[in-house]
Chain A
Amino acid sequence: MAFQPHNLVKNAIRPLSFWLGVLYVILTLSHWLILPRDVAPIMMGIAGGSALSLFTLYWYSGQKTFTRASVYPVGTFIAGVVGVNSFVHMLLDPHPHLSTNIGLLIIGLGVFMIDRNWYLGNLMVALIGYGIVLGILGYSDSWTPFLFFILQATILSVIANYVRTQNAINLANRQQEIELVAQFAIENEDRFRTLADATFEGIVIHQNGFILDANPAFATLFDYEIYEMIGMSVYDLVAPEDRETAIANARSGSEQMYEIAAQKRDGQRFIIEVRGRMVQRETGPIRVVAVRDVTEQREYERELRREALIFENISDSVILTDLSGKIIDINPATVRLFGYEREELIGKTPAEMWHVPRTGVSVNEQIIQGIHQNGRWQGEIEVVRRDKVHRVMDVTALPLVDSDGSRIATIGVSQDITDRKAAEQAMKQAKEAAEDANKAKTNFLASMSHELRTPLNAVIGYTELIIEEARHNKLETVEVDAIKISSASRHLLGIINDILDIARIEAGRVHLSLTSFSIAYLVDDVRAAVEPLIAKNGNIFIMEIADDVKKLYGDELRVRQMLVNLLGNAAKFTHSGTVSLNIHSANRGINFVVSDTGIGIKEDELERLFEAFTQSEENSTRTYGGTGLGLAITRRLCDIMGGSISVQSEVGKGSTFTLWLPDIAQIPDELTEVVEHN
């Protein structure tokens, strides 16, 4: 530790003076006790010095208690007075006087002044004053004491001067230092404030969670004004689920960086990266926290991870090529699809690796042109794998652009569609084969129909001639037989017609001629056709048409066909009973209800009733005749027109068929033919 003159005063002169003072008091008292003369001046000196020192003490320090720091100046003062006085008194002037004591008082004051770093001039004044007093009053019997005082004063002056000078220097240094520090502190605060204001990171200072200050970046981040944030709980800015984490970090004084979810004024959430540090202040520990919004960064990272995941795991080949067409990067699927290892491909072009040479514009050129013109290229490329197997790839090539829009690479996504194409081809062929077969079947049916009709035409025609001639010649037996031939022939014709009909319906080649027609006319026509059949088995025909039934839009001939079929069946399977036709409007259409009191249909046969080539009983064809196609055709025609048909029956009681047709037939366009109606 450097020598400090100030310390000399404090540590040496003061105690020394103090104890000298004590010694003086003892000596004086003993002196007074032994030689009790001139008591008054001594007492006055002591009392005066003490009073002055107490006053000084009070004035100087303002302290109410006597500590070492406050007692020492007093001691020093007393020492200044009595120390020197005792020397003089004892050694030089055995009979001190009042004036001597006054002089000593002045010297003591001087010493006190020295101690208090007062100016040397004061001391000199005191010394000179003392010398003058002695000299003028002539109390001294010689100049010796005067010279001694001068010497003493000079020594004290030199010491005092030195001490004072050093103290002054120290003081000056200290003040300058204080000023510098203060200046520095001001500048520092400015600088830090500027720094904090300018930084993009949010900075917040809080004590026990209460915000003391924040920088603009922090306030902006949370959508507050700075003044609004002062005094707020910093944890209100943290998403509820992360508050505990934030509190724990702040409490522990951790300086680790961590991430939590934060919330803005409006509750909008984002992710922040937080790092705090505890700082000690007179008012207690405060925490300075730096906060950064990392939401975008995290999202970007997530996106990158996602993209990387796709790139790594997608079953399609992904190839990145530079502008010269050289492969920069590939994904694992590329290795699987082409059979080449990654190392073999980097730096090569797809064209030299696997493109099958083509005449005309190369695939590469096509891709470059496509990207240039349309921003992308999509097409099929035939490639050769490393194992020499040819595959067809469906390739989409896209430009990879920089943030400024300039193309930096090409990304090609390829999918092996060889198998798919083969399957499509097979399916196409199968479909064509099926269509061909269907066409062949239709053609066969058409020609069969023609081939059957031609001889049948002759049979029927000649039979008619025979009937005419037999009638003409009154050959009754011949006429009856010929009529049977005719009947059988017409039945055969009916079968041929039905087979052709159902084949065409099933092939979707039935054509409907749509017109709006009168139900009344239709019913007259139907009645004429079925009445003979109904009457044949001794049945009664009842017909009811509701008043609101007027017209229907559909294929008149087909509707007639359906009704004749249903009524024909009813007539056929009913004997001496009733066959009825009830027509009424129902649900935006018309219900045609055909009921009979015939033999009925067994429940298990009801299901198969509308299928082709089914009749109620296996042998009923023989018993009742018919092709067994009538209901199948009726059902299919009904379906085509958008209608419905249902049946209720009880064996032995009869059957009821309900045919519903919409007012306006709903038919696929290709089956429709609208007929002009006159």
Chain B
Amino acid sequence: MAKILLVEDNEMNRDMMVRRLQHEGHTVVAAANGREAIELAEKEKPDLILMDISLPEMDGWEATRELKNRAETQQIPIIALTAHATHEDRVKSMEAGADAFETKPFRMPRLSAKIEKLLEDNPDLRDRYQKD
């Protein structure tokens, strides 16, 4: 399965998400804010990032822009995952460079489908993903 960087400031949600993603069979690294997310993305080179938007220090949009601007991280697909459920939020996320958008509370089957699709689109990951 894939290595996923989860960016989430709410501790409870972070814990819950980590466990649920692990139940799905993914390897999960977690960050609590945007800056940490960038550091971890560079260090851990995850296959995919689940990015919360309301984050302390650096919000999810800014972090997404930053990651998409850096050569070493720009190919990593990002799913914006936020409790901000409005149309504007979706547009802003897409503008920042996110590859997909999901609202919280999420449904695992739906999120899994998006994760799978993004990983399939990545030729480097496809083989590994399909092997598993």
Partner of B20, one of A446, A450, A464, A489: A464
Q: Are A511 and B87 in contact (CB under 8 A)?
A: yes
Partner of A454, one of B23, B83, B87, B106: B83
* 0/1 string, A488-519, CB within 8 A of B gives 1: 01000100010010001000011100000000
Q: Are B85 and A461 in contact (CB under 8 A)?
A: no
Scan residues 445-472 of chain A and give those whose CB is less than 8 A from a CB of chain B: 446, 449-451, 453-462, 464-465, 468
Return chain B residues, CB-CB under 8 Å to A450: 54, 82-85
Q: Measuring CB to CB, which residues of chain B are less than 8 angstroms from any residue of chain A?
A: 10, 12-13, 16-17, 19-20, 23, 54, 82-87, 103-106, 108
Return chain B residues, CB-CB under 8 Å to A460: 105
Q: Are A465 and B13 in contact (CB under 8 A)?
A: no
Q: Measuring CB to CB, which residues of chain A are less than 8 angstroms from any residue of chain B?
A: 446, 449-451, 453-462, 464-465, 468, 489, 493, 497, 500, 504, 509-511
A441 to chain B, nearest CB (A): 14
How far, in angstroms, from A500 to B105 measured CA to CA in the complex? Answer: 15
Q: Are A449 and B83 in contact (CB under 8 A)?
A: yes
How far, in angstroms, from A459 to B106 measured CA to CA in the complex? Answer: 11
Q: Are B105 and A497 in contact (CB under 8 A)?
A: no
Q: Given A453-B104, A454-B104, A461–B16 Cβ distance below 8 Å?
A: yes
Q: Given A453-B104, A456-B105, A457-B105, A465–B19 Cβ distance below 8 Å?
A: yes
Could you jot down 12 A-B contacts, CB within 8 Å? A449-B84, A451-B83, A453-B104, A454-B10, A455-B12, A456-B104, A457-B105, A458-B12, A458-B16, A462-B16, A464-B20, A465-B20
Return chain A residues, CB-CB under 8 Å to B87: 509-511
How far, in angstroms, from A256 to B20 measured CA to CA in the complex? Answer: 116
How far, in angstroms, from A510 to B105 measured CA to CA in the complex? Answer: 21
Return chain A residues, CB-CB under 8 Å to B20: 461, 464-465
Closest 10 CB pairs of A and B: A453-B83, A461-B16, A457-B104, A457-B105, A511-B87, A460-B105, A450-B83, A458-B12, A454-B83, A458-B13
Q: Are A468 and B23 in contact (CB under 8 A)?
A: yes
Q: Which of B19, B23, B54, B83 has the most CB of A within 10 A?
A: B83
Return chain B residues, CB-CB under 8 Å to A468: 23
Partner of B85, one of A455, A464, A500, A509: A500
How far, in angstroms, from A511 to B108 measured CA to CA in the complex? Answer: 26
How far, in angstroms, from A450 to B59 measured CA to CA in the complex? Answer: 15
Return chain A residues, CB-CB under 8 Å to B83: 449-451, 453-454, 457
Q: Which of A459, A460, A504 has the most CB of B within 10 A?
A: A460
Partner of B17, one of A461, A497, A510: A461
How far, in angstroms, from A124 to B83 measured CA to CA in the complex? Answer: 162
A450 to chain B, nearest CB (A): 4
Q: Given A458-B10, A464-B108, A497-B85, A453–B103 Cβ distance below 8 Å?
A: yes
Q: Are A454 and B13 in contact (CB under 8 A)?
A: yes
Q: Which residue of A lies closest to B11 (CB)?
A: A458
Partner of A461, one of B13, B82, B103: B13
